[in-house]
């Protein structure tokens, strides 16, 4: 199973949201990182056949994107904002969706729904109305609906936003478990989601892909460009205007700062070990999305 994109382009009038993206995703959780407006949702909606490309092509498990009916059987999609039959119970909603996805036999549906409820840990809420679920539970129900027909490509947009740390962990484990023999495309702003569960990361900025590789390789993009320094308030003021600050912690009257710079930013600054987030910031900065 693999997903391939060949010069995939989407324009909205004169705005190019996705600009000739060519890449390949193999089985596992694939992280998608990019600043707001980079084109992530556009890319996910193209793969979900909710949008048509302006030019270029893509295949999912060898099936061309333009074969919409076949593609829809291969994909599951959990968008950022999703709404769900609020007046139904959890089981009723999943049963209804299972019927829509073509699971006709009642016994098979029951078995599948029981498996999913266990996987997303909602067995104790079978009879709870969807509108009465917490935000995290709704997200888990959302992932259950996206998995119901066992898609080869599962697309999830910011699934851990608004979840507490325990829920986030559970969610990441669920996605990792599901990703055997499948591709899970995970769009997130949470570095920890990527670091802890992704086989590879794809960075999208201004509709293009400047990087695809492992978490460690992404960190390497910032090697030699991350500096740690202790500063007084006037140095801090200067640094804040001149450099991309990664983090700053006040220690009494001084600041302990990590920043990005191609050369040593001030006397006494020490080269620091880069993290994945540093590598990402270097790429996004090079693309002009930060000043």
Ligand X SMILES: Nc1ncnc2c1ncn2[C@@H]1O[C@H](COP(=O)(O)OP(=O)(O)OP(=O)(O)O)[C@@H](O)[C@H]1O
Token pair of 78, please? 């959990």
- Using the rule CB under 6 A, is 136 a contact of ligand X? no
Give the per-residue contact string, 23-42, with ligand X (x = CB under 6 A; - = no).
-----------x-xxxxxxx
Among positions 15, 69, 127, 251, the unique one binding ligand X when judged by CB under 6 A: 15
Q: How far apart are CA 104 and CA 229, in angstroms?
A: 64
Among positions 38-97, residues that touch ligand X (CB under 6 A) are 38-42
Our CB check for ligand X shows the closer of 34 and 142 to be 34
268 phi/psi in degrees, rounded to 5: 90, -10
Which residues contact residue 37 at a Cβ distance below 8 angstroms, ignoring those fewer than 6 apart?
A: none
Our CB check for ligand X shows the closer of 133 and 156 to be 156
Q: How far apart are CA 132 and CA 93, in angstroms?
A: 13
Closest distance of CB 74 from ligand X, Å: 22
Our CB check for ligand X shows the closer of 44 and 97 to be 44
Closest CA to 84 of 127, 44, 133: 133
Q: How far apart are CA 19 and CA 53, in angstroms?
A: 11
Closest distance of CB 238 from ligand X, Å: 32
Our CB check for ligand X shows the closer of 36 and 241 to be 36
Q: How many residues bind ligand X (CB under 6 A)?
A: 11
- Using the rule CB under 6 A, is 162 a contact of ligand X? no
- Using the rule CB under 6 A, is 12 a contact of ligand X? yes
Q: How far apart are CA 47 and CA 5, in angstroms?
A: 10
Closest distance of CB 15 from ligand X, Å: 5
Closest distance of CB 51 from ligand X, Å: 8
With vertex at residue 74, the alpha carbon angle to CA 116 and CA 186, rounded to the nearest 5 degrees, is 70
Closest distance of CB 240 from ligand X, Å: 25
Closest distance of CB 142 from ligand X, Å: 17
Q: Cβ-count burial of 136 within 10 angstroms (0-12 exposed, 13-18 middle, 19+ buried)?
A: middle
Q: How far apart are CA 232 and CA 210, in angstroms?
A: 36
With vertex at residue 108, the alpha carbon angle to CA 105 and CA 110, rounded to the nearest 5 degrees, is 110
Our CB check for ligand X shows the closer of 61 and 192 to be 192
Our CB check for ligand X shows the closer of 46 and 117 to be 46
Our CB check for ligand X shows the closer of 28 and 35 to be 35
Which residues contact residue 41 at a Cβ distance below 8 angstroms, ignoring those fewer than 6 apart?
A: 80, 157, 187
Closest distance of CB 11 from ligand X, Å: 9
List of residues contacting ligand X (CB under 6 A): 12, 15, 17, 34, 36-42
């Amino acid at each position: 199973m693999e997903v391939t994109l060949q010069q995939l382009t989407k324009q909205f009038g004169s705005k190019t949201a996705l600009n000739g993206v060519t890449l390949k995703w193999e089985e596992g959780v694939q992280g998608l990182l990019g600043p707001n407006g980079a084109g992530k949702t556009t890319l996910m909606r193209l793969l979900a056949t909710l949008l048509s490309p302006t030019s270029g092509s893509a295949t999912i498990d060898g099936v061309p994107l333009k074969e919409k009916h076949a593609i829809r059987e291969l994909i599951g999609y959990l968008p950022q904002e999703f709404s769900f039959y609020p007046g139904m119970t959890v089981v009723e909603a999943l049963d209804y969706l299972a019927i829509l996805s073509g699971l006709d036999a009642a016994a098979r549906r029951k078995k599948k729904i029981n498996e999913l409820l266990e996987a997303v840990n909602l067995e104790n809420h079978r009879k709870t109305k969807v509108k009465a679920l917490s935000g995290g539970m709704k997200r888990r129900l959302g992932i259950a609906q996206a998995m119901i027909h066992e898609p080869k490509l599962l697309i999830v947009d910011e699934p851990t936003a608004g979840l507490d740390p325990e829920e986030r962990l559970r969610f990441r484990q669920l996605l990792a478990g599901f990703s055997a023999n499948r591709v899970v495309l995970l769009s997130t702003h949470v570095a920890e989601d990527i670091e802890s569960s992704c086989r590879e990361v794809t960075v999208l900025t201004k509709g293009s892909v400047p990087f695809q590789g492992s978490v460690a390789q992404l960190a390497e993009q910032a090697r030699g460009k991350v500096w740690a320094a202790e500063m007084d308030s006037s140095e801090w003021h200067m640094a804040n205007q001149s450099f991309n600050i990664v983090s700053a912690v006040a220690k009494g009257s001084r600041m302990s700062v990590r920043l990005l710079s191609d050369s040593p930013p001030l006397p006494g600054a020490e080269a620091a070990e880069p993290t994945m987030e540093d590598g990402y910031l270097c790429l996004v900065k090079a693309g002009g999305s930060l000043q």
